[in-house]
Amino acid sequence: MPGLVGSQGVRAGALNMGRIFRALRYRTEQAQYVVYNRPTIYKTDAYGVPSGTIGSEEILLPDLQAIIRPAVTADYQQQRQGSNIIGAARIYTPNITTIKNYDNFNQNNNTDFNEIEGWDKLITNYRTVFSVPTTGTTNWTGTGSVASDGESLTLTATGDGNLLYETSIKNTLEADRLRFKIKGSGAVELKAVRSYHGGTTSAYRVNWDNANFVLLDDNWLTVDVPFVSGTTSTSIYQTGTRYDVPVTTGASFDYENDLRIFRIEYNAHNGDTLQVKDVEYYKSVSWHVHSLKDMTDGYIIFDCVRTQGRNDSRRRAYD
């Protein structure tokens, strides 16, 4: 009786999932914020085959709390078909009412999200490969003044411009996603994110040129985008609204090269502030929902599998 009983708060003996998530997240990596992803769904033609007309845009929503209990994290045995199930896990999420209370998952904001279904993906952080430090201002420059409160980096803008972190060579070979949190005040508009590898000119960068949008005041927005060869498009969601992000690379860009510059481009008025934190290049694991085991008013349990993954030694050796 989720509606009747669940609305009366946490009962004695019931699971307080919020508390469990927090406790496990602080003490272990079993509980994480994962990225919920449903690829673009195309309309079908009269013969039942997907056409080129988009019926439902890609959903890519970070910050979903989940507990991941792997049964098999990685299985390297190779089977026929070139693809096989290489991992299995049981994943716990909050109940659907709680999920739908998150801004991005709220159907008032995002009509495409209904519930977590079969073959939806839950992307977890397997290992952070390189974390861009925001605890100080070393190596950070921008169109304005930069300061750090020991956690996040703040740029006080003088106008439109960029905020960048330039480093000596940092290895990001194993990373396949980029995540950061960003917050703006005033009319700060996110324009683009760029990552330079192997060089510091535009030929050496990957460009995420999002549809410009104004960052909500005093609200951390998590941006989580693929950093993997072959990507041509992705999404950024803010309060359920999708902003298209075409992805392009320069002529000399190679995903295997070392990181040189992480850069954010924005439009802003003089005096607006832009804050960034938790910038990380990470290796992800993508869990695909195969079955729904249990759905209570406390939590949902999904059985998930992995069917594709990367083997970094071969990637280094072959490419």
Partner 1 sequence: MPTNPPDHLNNIERALIDKLRSGTYKTVGGSATAWSADPPDVTVYGQFPTTDDVSYPCLIVEMVANGIETQFMGQNITKNDGTAARGELYGIGFNIYIMVDRASSIDITNTIAGPSNVTQPYKERRLLNYLMLNGANVLMDLDFADIVKGAAGTPAATEIDERHFSGFRNIGYDPALELWSSQASMVVTFKNSR
- Which ranges in 75-135 belong to alpha helices (H)? 96-101
- Smallest distance from partner 1 to CB 86, Å: 6
Quick one: which of 3, 13, 82, 150 contacts partner 1 (CB under 8 A)?
82
The two structure tokens encoding residue 36: 């919920």
Does 307 participate in binding partner 1 (rule CB under 8 A)? yes
Q: Which residue has the tokens 């992995």?
A: 306
Contact yes or no for 44/51 (Cβ under 8 A): yes
Quick one: which of 27, 46, 80, 138 contacts partner 1 (CB under 8 A)?
80
Quick one: which of 290, 295, 301, 303 contacts partner 1 (CB under 8 A)?
290
Does 138 participate in binding partner 1 (rule CB under 8 A)? no
- Smallest distance from partner 1 to CB 316, Å: 11
Does 83 participate in binding partner 1 (rule CB under 8 A)? yes
What Å distances lie between residue 84 and 52, 76, 81, 124, CA to CA? Answer: 28, 9, 7, 20
Taking the CA atoms of 152, 157, 160 and 162 in sequence, report the sign of the dihedral they define.
negative
Does 39 participate in binding partner 1 (rule CB under 8 A)? yes
Quick one: which of 3, 119, 218, 232 contacts partner 1 (CB under 8 A)?
119
The two structure tokens encoding residue 269: 């008025």
Of 304, 168, 319, 177, the residue nearest 256 (C-alpha): 319
Does 90 participate in binding partner 1 (rule CB under 8 A)? no
Pick between residue 23 and residue 74 the one whose CB is nearest to partner 1.
74
Of 159, 131, 59, 135, the residue nearest 99 (C-alpha): 59
Does 49 participate in binding partner 1 (rule CB under 8 A)? yes
Residues lying near partner 1 in the complex (CB under 8 A): 39, 42, 47-52, 78-86, 119, 230, 290, 305, 307-311, 314-315, 318
